[in-house]
Amino acid sequence: MIDNAILHFVSEQLSQDHSGHNHQHAERVVRNAIKIMAEEGGDEKIILSAAWLHDCIDKKLFSDIAGQISKIEELLKGLDYSKEEMEEVLFIIQNISYNGGENRPLSTLNAQIVRDADRLDAIGAMGIIRTIEYGASKGRLFYDSENIQRERGKCGWNQPSDTSLSHFYEKLLKLESLMHTSTAKRLAHQRTQFLQRFLDQFYDELS
């Protein structure tokens, strides 16, 4: 079990987010992590702590990253986490991000599970919702004419632009191949198929 102080901290830190990185996202990442742990193992305390806290140092959400790290260190020290436990939690939340396509190697099962759990929430129905939420928070269109190729009355993907549609091709559809655990790979395959069905329907309606 995770101390309520961590849940309160996460809720407080992410309460004003409208970009798809709010407290509800953290809850879903935790549930994904629990599903993966049930089949893959791992250290529950480390994994769930990192899953709850992973967006509390996200540079998309916070400008003072060093300050956020200090807050988390103070929180975990107050909960009697050992130095090793605190260092592992901080390492995980600083290294699981996609970061524009970078896929930093992770050697520990705990870190791999948290990364997989986070990435699962970026695909499937939730991934679509979060992509639209994030795009709207940045004032982005879902698509524009540069994205769309029209041929013989049919529409399809053309080229990247600064739109939410581009995010599907630049990140979301790639995530299945980047999962670490067999459990996450299975879940990611189902969710990626849903993404593709959504895109097929989108192009069909646009046509």
Produce one character per residue of 32-52: b if its CB has 16 or more CB atoms within 10 Å, e if not.
Answer: bbebbbeebebbebbbbbbbb
Evaluate whether 110 touches 88 at the Cβ level (below 8 Å). Answer: yes
Q: Which tens digit of pLDDT belongs to each residue from 126-165? A: 999 999 988 998 899 999 887 888 877 677 777 778 899 9
pLDDT tens readout for residues 87-134: 999 999 999 887 655 677 788 999 999 999 999 999 999 999 999 988
* 94 vs 91: CA distance, rounded Å: 5
